[in-house]
Amino acid sequence: MTATDTMPAPSPDALSGLEEKPFFIVLNAGSGRRDADETSEVITRLMAEAGRRFELLPVTDPTRLIETARTAVRLAHDQGGIVVAAGGDGTLNAVSSVVLETGLPFGILPRGTFNYVGRAHGIPQDTEAAVRCLLQSHIKPAQVGLLNGRPFLVNASFGLYPRLLEDREAYKQRYGRSRWVALWSAVMTLAHAHRQLKVQVEYGGTHRTLKTPTIVVDNNPLQLRQMGIRQEDELEHDHLVAITSPPVGTLALYGILIRGLLSRLGEADNVITFAFNRLTVHMGNRRHIKVATDGEIFHARAPLVFEVAPHKLQLLVPRADATEAIQ
């Protein structure tokens, strides 16, 4: 059940008068550097200085994240407020999935390792700077992707990529959260043999059979640019971008990794990319497959359907003058 099943749509002025609306902030205490107390103090201090109404809804148990997000949506709807997610990209995904169809304004305070969503929209990674920008923000509708109806803001994938994410999380639990740990984890994962998947894909009237270790569907212009996939403009035209490859060995996978790190992935002969609005992937006799959306891993029923969501997220982004003021 979504938030829209239990409440009416917001009034026509729900997206106006942002400077007066209260914030209902879902704070994932387990995200990023796990400095939730410090983050709470910064938020409380800056909101008090600004004379802004707000309510913090901390989450210490990850299994209660969606429940807490629903509480925030109800409060924001009843009080004409704004839902804010404070956490990594996985947290932003979870909270936005509850907010999306309500049409309520949605703000973010990045607290993760990569923070692709915030960085793509010019939101500072520093908590104090991010809160100051939030207080002086405006709405920019943001495209959302869907995998079998489940939203994603950064990317969705199946095959090798979810395995990379699983191993990365295990390494982070053991060695700490950093980009270097993530890189070393990828090197170790790619050192092992990987299963090739034979799939049939349909998009834009095209039917293709692919044998591939993975397909990643991207919805983040910053991530595409960083990898060297020069198709970020497609995201402005109600498209997502698929990234895949033919069967390759370990050395070729290392080559793909290195090209991605050097922002030259789009130049690789063994990398295939294409844009689409809706992509259906048939898995042969497989009924379920492990997938990932914004770093969160689960099993999905085949066929897999990747598509652009019919609604856009009413995302709060910094005003130009606010960004300049804090720099």
- The per-residue pLDDT for range 270-306, each reduced to its tens digit, is 899 999 999 999 998 889 999 999 989 999 999 999 9
If you average pLDDT over every residue of the chain, what do you get?
88
Average the pLDDT over 2-12 and give the result: 46
32 pLDDT tier (thresholds 50, 70, 90): low
Residue 39: how many other CB atoms lie within 10 Å: 27
Model pLDDT, residue 84: 98
Asked whether residue 2 carries a pLDDT value surpassing 70, the answer given is no
What is the band of 5 on the pLDDT scale with cuts at 50, 70, 90?
very low
Question: Residues in the chain, how many?
Answer: 327
Confidence of residue 168 (pLDDT cuts 50, 70, 90): confident
Q: Is 244 left (phi over 0), alpha (psi -120 to 50) or beta?
A: beta
Residues 195 and 213: their CA atoms lie apart, in Å, by 6
Domain boundary assignment for the chain: 3-143+311-326, 150-308
The answer to whether residues 170 and 184 touch, using CB atoms and an 8 Å cutoff, is no
What pLDDT is stored for residue 16 in this prediction? 63
Phi, psi of 168 (to 5 degrees): -60, -40
Which pLDDT score, from 0 to 100, does residue 257 have? 73
CA distance 298 to 292: 6
Q: Is the pLDDT of residue 322 over 70?
A: no
Which of 85-94, 106-115, 317-326 has the least mean pLDDT? Answer: 317-326
Confidence class for position 33, pLDDT limits 50, 70, 90: low
pLDDT of 191 above 90: no
Whole-angstrom Cα distance, residue 156 to residue 90? 12
pLDDT exceeds cutoff 60 at 12: no
- Please tell me the CATH code under which domain 150-308 is placed: 2.60.200.40
d(CA 87, CA 132): 17
Strand partners for 139: 316
Is residue 80 within 8 A of residue 181, CB to CB? The reply is no
Question: Where are the alpha helices (H) located in 82-193, listed in sequence order?
Answer: 89-99, 116-120, 127-135, 160-175, 179-190
pLDDT class for 31, splitting at 50, 70, 90? low
- For 249, list phi and psi in degrees, rounded to 5: -90, -175
Average pLDDT over residues 214-236: 95
17 DSSP 8-state letter: -
Non-local CB neighbours of 245 within 8 Å, separated by 6+ positions: 212, 213, 214, 256, 268, 270, 271, 272
**H or E element in which residue 53 lies:** none
DSSP track, 207-256:
EEEEEESEEEEE--HHHHHHHT---GGGGGGT-EEEEE--S--HHHHHHH
Task: Quick: pLDDT tens for 117-131.
Answer: 999 999 999 999 999
CATH fold for the domain made of 3-143+311-326: Rossmann fold (3.40.50)
Tell me the pLDDT band of 34, cut-offs 50, 70 and 90: low
What is the phi/psi pair of residue 135, to 5°?
A: -70, -20
Q: What CA–CA distance (Å, rounded) separates 285 from 290?
A: 15
Q: Which residues pair with 87 in a beta bridge?
A: 110
Q: Percentage of residues in the chain with pLDDT exceeding 70?
A: 91
